[in-house]
Structure 1
Amino acid sequence: MPLFTDAARQFRQMDRFSCGNTGFHRLDARIKIGAFIVFQICVLSWPPQEITGLLPFFLFPVCVIRMAGLPLGYLLKRTLWLLPVAVMIGIFNPLVDRAPAGEWFGIPVTRGMISFISIILRCMLTILAAFTLLASTGFAPLCRGLRQLGVPRILITLLAFLYRYAFILVDEFQNTLLAFRSRRGSSGAVPLSIWGAMTGQLLLRAFGRAERIYQAVQCRGGEDPEFSSVPGVITARGVMGGLLFCLFAILFRCVNVTMLAGQFTRNLIS
């Protein structure tokens, strides 16, 4: 449970980054979502054994992070936290696919090793881009943008409730844990013998608070204005920026920039 509370705290911290006042923050969420989808398609459409073609795509999230004034180290650290998931996905590739693919400084390299590294790079690019989108836009504007793009209302409502009530559960857990430790007079671990009663009390407190929030939403007309489909403002500059981003992503997908730069450097030296 402490891992869950820490993850929720980090998620909320990234959502606070969306309160910035840079030009990228002011961009309409629909433009960002469209550019994000194009970026993901370009990254995931590379062949399974591709590595060099994926490397230039790290320029996109890094440039966006710099333009939005976001902490690069913070986002990279959160991305590396999820790296074990990518390792678990492709850890058996070197064992399954042992076909030789070449040598690297005299060390034989198999196709399974290359595909394993490719999976890690794809996961890092996908997660870093998603964190950058969330930190530069915010959860509520993302929900509004998805609603305006035609995503079914029921899915937006589920996302909104999951976002809201997950934090309610975490807050109530922290309050319950603080009350227990205050009465006990120590900050040690909670004994297993009282976890059952504590969990039941936690759920009752969370349900009660969620019910009060739901009644407040109903008193305001049955729709949370934070996630309502408010018409956004799409500017010509924003559209041009989004199109330029998509064009560069497609160009990097059609042309292996790393190989091209290597050939150019080799010809320049020779």
Structure 2
Amino acid sequence: MRVAIFNYESPESLRVRKLLLNRLEEETAITYDDQQPDVVITIGGDGTLISAFHHYEDRLSTIRFVGIHTGHLGFYTDWRNFEVEDLVESLQNDSGQSVSYPLLEMSATYDDGEIERRVALNESTLRNIVKTMVCDVYINNQLFERFRGDGLVISTPTGSTAYNKSVGGAILDPRIIGFQLGEMASLNNRVFRTLGSPVVFGSDTKLTLRLPDDSGTVLSCDRDQIMMDSQSHRLVDVSYRVSDKVIRFAKYRHTNFWDRVKDSFIGGIQ
């Protein structure tokens, strides 16, 4: 088995990395290889795992991820910083077991014909930082509404607990192969109307957001942000669909999604 380590640069994450590397050197059946790994172990939090996901985005079909969290409990990290020995034992007994989650494909089209394609693990957002954003929302190429407000967030099922939840979106079971559209401070009055609620789309749906004016618009894909610059080229529209790719986690001790939701947002029941 070939293993890579992707870590956050905190003192605790670096300590755990050193401990894990020393332990892996003792295992003849495990080789450290950060170019062609079978398993990527992240040390940090959800942000670290998202960074690792994008670093190895072109090899998702052959990689499984394992997360060690060195801070607060994360949605993508199953192991604690004091469980290095247990994790190495699981690697020794690995049989290829995994659990997979759907991803979001984003395609941004510009007026010069350029098309930029990206994949999101959590979400993509389209928002305006200087004025009310206006965009036409198309579902399967049919106009649905004209949105006015701060912006829109499009999330995966696992990403539904992140930015999407903060804007009033629903939390989706990750076994649902789909994605969700949520509104950021939509403008609703006697003149302008939007649906005003989150929308969940299925696996065969194409969502397109078309902009009459992209000035002041910021497009994001997970942690990466793109500030529109109309002097070079103008953003015409952004389309979303369920990606053909998935993210796979090594299922040694993969925590149940709803247990994560309960622990993160509810805690103990009195």
Q: TM class, shorter-chain normalised? A: under 0.3
Q: Give the structure with the higher percent strand.
A: 2
More helix by share: 1
Greater length-normalized contact order (CA 8 Å, ≥ 6 residues apart)? 1
TM-score norm. by structure 1 comes to 0.20
